[in-house]
A and B are shown apart, each in its own frame.
Chain A
């Protein structure tokens, strides 16, 4: 069932298009930087880190992941999760799949695992494509970054990471971002069990991302009380891995929040899907 589902989803034009766009983004970013500003300091994230891309190809995955984690990656994840069941309902294949001796829980689990796998591929693809494009364009050299939070007008806190160290920190950072997509994924997956319109489920996932971005105390101090419950706001904390020593404050809370969103949304999805009438 999982193999059949994976074969089906993998060949879906939307899957290939989404993954292609994410990989293409890293290459496009590299080309844009090479053409215009690879020799200049680039500000990355809220810390901020200041990086000169031309001096290390491994800077591209850092910039690429930081650029996609707040919208493009949630969009991709919402597509994979939101389309999973609603997509089948929309084309009518859901009723034929469930008219077999196949428990709904097993069907749901297969859908969940395949959508999770594709979402994980989407997240991994951005830094991997960035690393490939950056290495091709700028070579493999140690990454030098200026820690904006520790720098003053008189003193720049310059940090240097070897290529191996950069890749290791990026690996942990990518895992953190992947885990940070769990809330958006779970919400879109829940919507996918509720509707026969995949666009609605995808839009719901994207909508949650936007709500999370809007209700952000960085922009609206009055909503600070909500900030720590928003599913996407602290997805950028991985950038603190590129400080010395690496900072991990707030990460445990964010990861726990992802688990809570996942538990509630996936639990509700399972409860509803096991009981719902399949009328379309």
Chain B
């Protein structure tokens, strides 16, 4: 029997306050072991999608499952998920270590000293792990956030802009951690504004725009005839008006390529592939 996909999203829509449609008919299936980059401009719906996957935001419609279990607040499958979403969030007056211990004692975690030691090693904060969290620099906070996300070696890791504001050395460290996580078979969904980041660590990418999935596939397929993922992304996002007018929101490879005068490359982008497959 095939393993349940770590992430299954079908027809997900989320309308926030004042009628803003944050996610619009999103369908996406992430298979075990994939490292998926979630790209898109500000307001594309990436963070909200992550929060729906964590049971923090209720879908307005659609189906969302983690390891075959429908996502809802407190779903048992969330025990297999680690996350760093909207930046780290810790208790300021407690030390980094005390915060990790607190996370390890949360329901569903049931983690031991060995798990905490492993997380401390990932954080790499040295003696600063004993200091109050409020004294940490931006980079230290993110490293602690990543360590918390990796507590207990989750099977699915959700990372929302994990390298924001970090220096190149820290970014390289985090990329290395993500690769190691994937090597042990875990699945990673990583949102980033930096396409180079996605290109460096991801096996697949999904591009969102105005809440809709406009492209999805393996990196090589998405890149197509373009020099880089960035060039392919700009071609997609630059296709703005035409994308919006496409029935169902899916962008065909031909349409996308045509906007960049590469109409002869017809298989570069598999926009909406999963939605089509699901249908």
Contacts and interface: CB of A to CB of B under 8 A. Distances in A.
Interface of A: 1, 4, 7-8, 11-13, 91-104, 106, 274-275, 277-280
B262 interface: no
Contact of B107 (A93, A95, A102): A102
Interface string B134-170: 0000000000000010000000000000000000000
> Which 3 A-B pairs have CB atoms at the shortest separation, nearest pair first?
A92-B89, A101-B108, A103-B74
Interface in B20-76: 48, 51, 54-58, 73-76
Contacts of A11: 93-94
Given A98-B73, A99-B85, 16 more contacts: A4-B105, A7-B102, A8-B94, A11-B94, A12-B91, A91-B92, A93-B91, A99-B55, A99-B56, A101-B76, A101-B79, A101-B107, A277-B51, A279-B51, A279-B56, A279-B57
A102 B74 contact: yes
Given A98-B56, A101-B108, A92 B51 contact: no
Contact of A95 (B48, B56, B102): B56
23 contacts: A4-B102, A8-B94, A11-B93, A13-B93, A91-B90, A91-B91, A93-B89, A93-B90, A95-B51, A95-B56, A95-B85, A96-B83, A98-B73, A100-B74, A101-B78, A101-B107, A102-B74, A102-B106, A102-B108, A274-B73, A277-B58, A278-B51, A278-B57
Given A8-B102, A95-B86, A96-B103, A104 B74 contact: yes
Contacts of B51: 95, 277-279
B81 interface: yes
Given A11-B94, A275-B58, A277-B57, A100 B79 contact: yes
Interface of B: 16, 48, 51, 54-58, 73-79, 81, 83, 85-94, 102-103, 105-109, 148
Q: Which of A11, A12, A100, A275 has the most CB of B within 10 A?
A: A100
B108 A100 contact: yes
B106 A97 contact: yes
A105 to B, nearest CB: 9
Contacts of B148: 96
B74 A278 contact: no
A92 B106 contact: no
Nearest to B80: A101
A106 B109 CA distance: 15
A100 B89 contact: no
A33 to B, nearest CB: 35
A253 B246 CA distance: 66
B73 A277 contact: no
B89 A91 contact: yes
Contacts of B48: 279
A99 B76 contact: no
Contacts of B56: 95, 98-99, 277-279
Contacts of A4: 102, 105-106
Contacts of B85: 95, 99
A8 B108 contact: no
A70 to B, nearest CB: 30
A92 to B, nearest CB: 2
Contacts of A279: 16, 48, 51, 56-57
A277 B89 contact: no
Contacts of B93: 11-13
A3 to B, nearest CB: 8
A66 to B, nearest CB: 33
Contact of A98 (B55, B81, B92, B103): B55
Contacts of B81: 99
A229 B125 CA distance: 55
Contacts of A100: 74, 78-79, 106-109
Contacts of B78: 99-101
Contact of B75 (A7, A93, A96, A101): A101
A93 B90 CA distance: 5
A235 B75 CA distance: 43
A164 to B, nearest CB: 41
A204 B106 CA distance: 30
Contacts of B76: 101
Q: Which of A1, A12, A92, A96 has the most CB of B within 10 A?
A: A96
A278 B87 CA distance: 14
Nearest to A104: B73
B155 to A, nearest CB: 14
Contacts of B102: 4, 7-8
Contacts of A278: 51, 56-57
A60 to B, nearest CB: 32
B164 to A, nearest CB: 14
